[in-house]
Amino acid sequence: MSQPEPLPYQVSRSEIYNETAARTARITIVPDEQDPEVIIIESSCPCCTHYTYFREPVVVYRDMDFFPTMNSLFDKALRRAARDITSRDVEVICDCSWSHPGTPELKTGCGASWVLHIDWGSE
């Protein structure tokens, strides 16, 4: 029995995608909930059903002319501030490795996106 043809690439969003992903996604806070650096979301895409892996940094360095080292005062201050963050809405974009017809060059996935509200660190 052959695999069905993958869905064509199409940018799409849907509340149904959000609801489905909220029930099925596996969320990991790295290194842990007391010292969050990255949110990892693993799931089946609610549109194409292929496995997708998404990383969302808790703290993002923007408009920086340098890359702070883990020992810099700036980095230490950002890491302390990140400890106070206990939730985030994350837009996840399908990043499956399947070849969807019509996928633009330099893109992956089927084009679907969904939003997950993620809470951590509260007891």
Put simply, whether the predicted model's pTM sits higher than 0.75 gets the answer: yes
Share the mean pLDDT of the chain.
Answer: 85
Share of the chain above pLDDT 70, in %: 83
Please tell me which residue, 6 or 15, carries the higher pLDDT value.
15
pLDDT of residue 66: 54
pLDDT at 87 over 60: yes
pLDDT at 104 over 60: yes
Looking up tokens 């020992």 gives 71
> Using CA atoms, how far apart are residues 123 and 23, in angstroms rounded to an integer?
21
pLDDT at 102 over 90: yes
**116 C-beta neighbours (distance < 10 Å), count:** 20
pLDDT at 13 over 90: yes
pLDDT of residue 120: 85
C-alpha distances out from residue 98 to 7, 28, 76, 95, 106, Å: 10, 24, 39, 9, 13
Q: Which residues pair with 3 in a beta bridge?
A: none
pLDDT of residue 1: 54
> Using CA atoms, how far apart are residues 108 and 95, in angstroms rounded to an integer?
5
